[in-house]
Amino acid sequence: MAEITASLVKELRERTGAGMMECKKALTENNGDIDAAAEWLRKSGLAKADKKADRVAAEGRIAVAQDGGKAVLVEINSETDFVAKDENFIAFTNAVAQAALAAGATDADTVKAAKVASGETVEESRAAAISKLGENIQVRRLAVVNTDNNVAAYVHGGKIGVLVEVKGGDADLARGIAMHVAAMNPPYVKATDVPASFVEKEKEIELAKMSDKDKAKPADILEKIISGKINKIVNEVTLYGQPYVLNSDQTVEQAVKAAGAEVIGFQRLVVGEGIEKVVEDYAAEVAKAMQV
């Protein structure tokens, strides 16, 4: 049996990022062969990843990569916000975003086969990150744009990511629109994008809210009242109709048209959106463990 020295353990730790005891065990299992030990740790990481796969990962981070009009947002989830802020997790998410951009990936499944700068696939790198950080980590979804128009990729606090495509204008306008979308979350770009069913439903609601006195008004007057209310609602749910967050004296539409531009579309990702979070009762968990 080869001697497992402290320097050998240190070298393996630096290479793999695994814990000291895991590195020592890996070297012991592989008779001091550092290459074999590294491979053993990788396989061990894959096993750990499988064991953690069923644990809810609803925290995490939105990572971004961009090259001109080609940009990608990637939502990568962890179990806790603590890990989401870890420098190793942040480095992993940035590497995944760059790999997705370089590979032209369009969804989470295709990005898993893409290679990060180290030469590993995203899936292999994910398994290593799980081994190092001790939590379930999932590459959940992507937002992608590839165009000749102006593109802004904006991430707010690592939790909200936005891609905006603008025809005309400049990079500053596109970024301003992206910041607005992040802050105000409009469901639609312009009034013509709002479904007729939504408008009809709102008309029904507004009519039901009116007093009998108002309902008794002439049909043309009643229509004007209802139309005014609906226009206000439509403005609230459309990007173009909302007051611009960078200049509330004008709407987004006014700001865009003043620049001779047009918003083609946007995509918005929020970390954990749609994932049912599990609320842990740690006191009960500890009490249960004490009874075993």
Give the C-alpha separation, 44 to 183, whole Å: 42
Max CA-CA distance within the chain?
A: 98
pLDDT of residue 48: 52
Domain with CATH 1.10.8.10 in the chain: 6-51
The single-letter code of the amino acid at 51 is K
- The single residue listed with the structure tokens 């987004």 is 252
Q: Which CATH architecture has domain 6-51?
A: Orthogonal Bundle (1.10)
Q: ∠ CA(22), CA(26), CA(29), 5° rounding?
A: 135
Mean of per-residue pLDDT scores for the chain: 87
Q: Model-level pTM?
A: 0.76
Give the C-alpha separation, 201 to 197, whole Å: 6
Domain with CATH 3.30.479.20 in the chain: 53-146
Which strands make up the sheet holding 160-167, listed edge to edge?
150-156, 160-167, 262-270
CATH topology for 53-146 is Tetrahydropterin Synthase; Chain A (3.30.479)
Phi, psi of 20 (to 5 degrees): -60, -45
Listed range (6-10, 70-74, 142-146, 211-215) with the worst mean pLDDT: 211-215
What pLDDT digit, counting tens, does each position of 31-68 carry?
888 888 877 776 666 445 555 555 656 799 999 999 99
pLDDT of residue 292: 41
Reading the block at residue 18, the tokens are: 């695994």
Most confident of 125-129, 169-173, 277-281: 169-173
In residues, how long is the chain?
A: 292
What pLDDT digit, counting tens, does each position of 109-123 carry?
899 899 999 899 999
Burial class, 222, CB count within 10 angstroms (exposed 0-12 / middle 13-18 / buried 19+)? middle
Q: How many Cα atoms sit within 13 Å of 192 on the Cβ side?
A: 1
